[in-house]
Copies of this chain bind each other. A is one copy, B any other.
Amino acid sequence: MVTILKSTIECNDTRLGKSFDIFIQVMIVLSLVSFSVETLPNISDELRTYLYRFEVFSVSIFTFEYIARIISADDKKKFIFSFFGIVDLFAILPFYLSTGLDLRTLRTFRLLRLVRILKLARYSAAAKRFHRAFIIAKEELALFLFAALIILYLAGVGIYYFEFPAQPEVFSSVFHSLWWAVATLTTVGYGDIYPITVGGKIFTFFILILGLGVVSIPAGMVASALSKAREMEDD
Tell me the A147-181 residues at the B interface (CB within 8 Å). 148, 150, 153-154, 157, 160-161, 164, 168, 172-175, 178-179
Chain A interface residue number, banded: 35 or more
The digit string for A206-228, where 1 denotes a CB below 8 A from any CB of B, is 00110011011111111111111
Q: Which residue of B lies closest to A161 (CB)?
A: B105
Chain B residues near A160 (CB, 8 Å)? 39
Could you list which residues of chain A lie within 8 angstroms of chain B, going by C-beta atoms? Answer: 32, 35-36, 39-41, 105, 108, 111, 114, 117, 121, 124-127, 129-130, 136, 139-140, 142-143, 145-146, 148, 150, 153-154, 157, 160-161, 164, 168, 172-175, 178-179, 182-184, 186-192, 194, 196, 198, 201, 204-205, 208-209, 212-213, 215-228, 230
A230 x B130 contact (CB < 8 A): no
Tell me the number of copies of this protein: 4
CA distance in complex: A126, B114 (Å): 34
Chain B residues near A142 (CB, 8 Å)? 126
Q: Which residue of B lies closest to A205 (CB)?
A: B182
Q: List 14 A-B contacts (CB under 8 A).
A: A108-B161, A111-B157, A117-B146, A124-B143, A130-B140, A182-B204, A183-B194, A186-B208, A187-B187, A189-B190, A190-B191, A219-B223, A220-B222, A220-B224
A187 x B186 contact (CB < 8 A): yes
